Amino acid sequence: MTINRRCFFLRLVLLNLMVTIVLANAYASDELLEAEVIGIVDGNTLTIKFKDDDAYDVQLAGVDAPELSQEYGEQARQFLQKKALNKKVKVQLQGKDRWGNRLAVVWLKGEVDLRVELLKEGFAWTAERNPIPELENVRIEAQNKRKGLWQSVEPTPPWAFRRQQTMMQAKGS
């Protein structure tokens, strides 16, 4: 390889690294951003519009609501609609999950954490991987009070439901 090609390759690698760092910082920040909730996709996914920017779907970090086709899935979505749709919110981006979904913490009126509200009413589980202790405590309290999905004898966590659906689709192929 000639020196010019090596320099070009090195510049390309450095540029790629710089872009990766900038994008990572854009998706994970301590900064609270003002936004408006313009849509509710499901029980833990909102469409938000930042000031003078495009709309993005974000999943609430650290919680997992039932799928829409699951028991309590539609109720979780409706709960979020009543609480957050067309409301001004503060958003703290938390990066992306392993599937590339944007993760965020979303506050109503700057102080009401939507994740906590979902968990309090029994409309979500804490995340399967690395549950946040503060959120786990709220989930346990809702479970002990038999709120929402905790009224069911053995509710199926959404991650188990998704795995079952994947296995059934594979068998049907």
Read off the pLDDT of residues 116-166 as tens digits, 9 standing for 90 and up: 999 999 999 999 989 999 999 999 999 999 999 999 999 999 999 999 988
**pLDDT, greater one: 122 or 21:** 122
Q: How does pLDDT run across 157-166, given as a tens digit for each residue?
A: 999 999 998 8
Confidence (pTM): 0.79
pLDDT higher than threshold 70 for residue 21: no
Count CA within 13 A, CB hemisphere, residue 67: 12
Residue 168's pLDDT is what?
Answer: 82
Residue 73's pLDDT is what?
Answer: 97
Residues 6+ apart with CB under 8 A from 151: 122
Residue 15's pLDDT is what?
Answer: 40
Residue 17's pLDDT is what?
Answer: 36
Question: DSSP string spanning 37-79?
Answer: EEEEEETTEEEEEETTS-EEEEEETTEEPPPTTSTTHHHHHHH
**pLDDT, greater one: 24 or 83:** 83
Confidence grade of residue 110 (pLDDT, cut at 50, 70, 90): confident
Instruction: Name the residue ranges covered by the structural domains of the chain.
Output: 28-163
- Topology classification of domain 28-163: OB fold (Dihydrolipoamide Acetyltransferase, E2P) (2.40.50)
Helix H or strand E encompassing 82: helix 73-84
pLDDT higher than threshold 70 for residue 8: no
pLDDT higher than threshold 90 for residue 3: no
Residue 27's pLDDT is what?
Answer: 46
